């Protein structure tokens, strides 16, 4: 995946797409930081695709938080810039499940863990993290589980 992102960066450089260049450089820098951190902790220097996916999801979450703050401060131009970065980052993430598919998976997780109230949400989330693919949007899943357990 790192190679794909690097190739996309070289295409963007050739095309002179400044926003895309900026975002792709941020992604590559984050990947390199993660590789350095894993090297210093004695792990393999090449990071796995799953780790890159988690890194990209974290970047999207950070940008969503920024959008929320920018919109509260009436800084729409900055919010639009963050939305564009999210669009570019999402190109490298696996397609996320729909809300209906996520709700079905959440129902199965609640049944599997025998959760009956909001205090047991942690157990359901842990089950989902252990048994779900990277295409599951955990923030949406968390919201749906919270709604289901409150009732």
Superfamily (CATH) of domain 2-90: Uncharacterised protein YqeY/AIM41, N-terminal domain (1.10.1510.10)
> With bands split at pLDDT 50, 70 and 90, how would you rate the model's confidence at 98?
confident
> For position 151, what pLDDT does the model report?
66
Task: Give me 129's structure tokens.
Answer: 């993290």
Handedness of CA 78, 63, 95, 29 (dihedral sign): positive
Lowest mean pLDDT across 58-62, 67-71, 84-88, 136-140: 136-140
Asked if CATH classification 1.10.10 holds for the domain at 99-150, the reply, yes or no, is yes
CA distance 60 to 19: 16
pTM of the model: 0.70
Q: Where are the domains of the chain?
A: 2-90, 99-150
């Amino acid at each position: 995946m790192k190679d794909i992102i690097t190739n996309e960066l070289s295409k963007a450089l050739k095309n002179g797409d400044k926003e895309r260049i900026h975002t792709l450089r941020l992604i590559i820098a984050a990947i390199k930081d993660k590789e350095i951190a894993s090297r210093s902790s004695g792990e393999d220097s090449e990071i796995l695709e799953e780790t890159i996916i988690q890194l990209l999801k974290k970047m999207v979450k950070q940008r969503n938080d920024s959008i929320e703050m920018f919109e509260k401060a009436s800084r729409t131009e900055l919010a639009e810039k963050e939305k564009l970065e999210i669009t570019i980052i999402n190109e490298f993430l696996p397609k996320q499940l729909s809300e209906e598919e996520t709700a079905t998976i959440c129902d199965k997780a609640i049944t599997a863990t025998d959760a009956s109230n909001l205090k047991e949400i942690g157990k359901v989330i842990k089950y989902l993290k252990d048994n779900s693919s990277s295409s599951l949007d955990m923030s949406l899943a968390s919201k749906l589980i919270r709604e289901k357990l409150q009732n």
